[in-house]
Amino acid sequence: MALNVVNEIDDRVAVRHVLMSVSDKSGLDTFVTGLIRACPGVKIFSTGGTFTAVRQMLGPVLARQHLVAVSDYTGQPEMQGGLVKTLDFKIYLGLLSETYNAAHQKDLERTQAVAIDLVVVNLYPFKQTVARPGVTPEEARTNIDIGGPCMVRASAKNFLRVASVTDPADYAALLGELDARHGTLGLATRLGLMKKAFAHTAQYDTAIAAFFAGIAPETARSAYTVHGAP
């Protein structure tokens, strides 16, 4: 299969659709309210605890205008335990579609999907979990994020039109640019966020690999009732 090579992009991209799923909710209240101020027609697609937190921040009137549950958008309920929430064709079509690709635009129309312009994601706290004394392999395994890194990587890959935000420390600068530039983010900003996003997921995977490198099969076995064990 031939690779999809892009030749034409926009410098500035208007933020109309946001995908938001964060474990670290610090600064989120200020960011969400500032986002709606700078981008008055914005829709925020969210899941689980983030959806609940944003709904509380906005109140019922603004939530009805700006907040959409991912499960309502995709038509698929979350898997028990929140194991599958965002791994859906409509989500990744919205993340990876290209503005000047006619086939992608037809796919968006066919599926009634939207192009997602901004992704705000930070991952399950794996490092913090495994830093606790006596942490079990099961506690560590449970805190391996699957959907989060996928969203970060997809949005960062498509920095051509998507901003991938992984660090709450970047919220203030982003709001400043959105306010100053009529709700748009520039290519330089998106590229900078892309670099930070891939460094973030690389460090995350390295931490997982490092922890489990020291786990012997006997240690893993001791965390569970193992059926059919020898």
DSSP per residue, 73-118? HHS-PPPGGGSSSS-SHHHHHHHH--TT-HHHHHHHHHHT-----E
* pTM summary value: 0.93
CA distance 103 to 139: 43
174 assigned to some structural domain: yes
The answer to whether residue 6 is domain-embedded is no
2 belongs to a structural domain: no
Note the residue count of the chain. 230
Q: CA–CA separation, 12 vs 204, rounded Å? A: 30
Residue 82 has a pLDDT of 72
Q: 49 in a domain, yes or no?
A: yes
For residue 113, CA distances in Å to 94, 171, 230 come to 7, 26, 50
Beta carbons of 145 and 48 less than 8 angstroms apart: no
Return d(Cα 31, Cα 225) in angstroms, integer. 44
Backbone φ and ψ of 17, nearest 5°: -130, 130
95 falls within a domain: yes
Q: Could you list the residue range(s) of the whole structural domain that residue 111 is in?
A: 12-222
Asked whether residue 230 is assigned to any structural domain, the reply reads no
In tens, the pLDDT along 124-138 reads 789 888 989 999 999
CB neighbourhood size of 109 (10 A):
9
Q: How many C-beta atoms lie closer than 10 Å to residue 130's C-beta?
A: 18
Q: Where residue 3 falls among pLDDT bands split at 50, 70, 90?
A: confident
Residue 104 lies in a domain: yes
Q: How many domains are contained in the chain?
A: 1
Q: How many C-beta atoms lie closer than 10 Å to residue 171's C-beta?
A: 19
Per-residue pLDDT band at 85 (split at 50, 70, 90)? confident
Q: Does residue 7 lie within any of the structural domains? A: no
Please state the rounded mean pLDDT for residues 153-168: 98
What are the pLDDT digits (tens) for 170-209? 999 999 999 999 999 999 999 999 999 999 999 999 999 9
- Considering the chain, what percentage of its residues have pLDDT values greater than 90? 87
Dist CA 205 CA 111 (whole Å):
33
Question: For the domain that residue 146 is a member of, what is the CATH number?
Answer: 3.40.50.1380
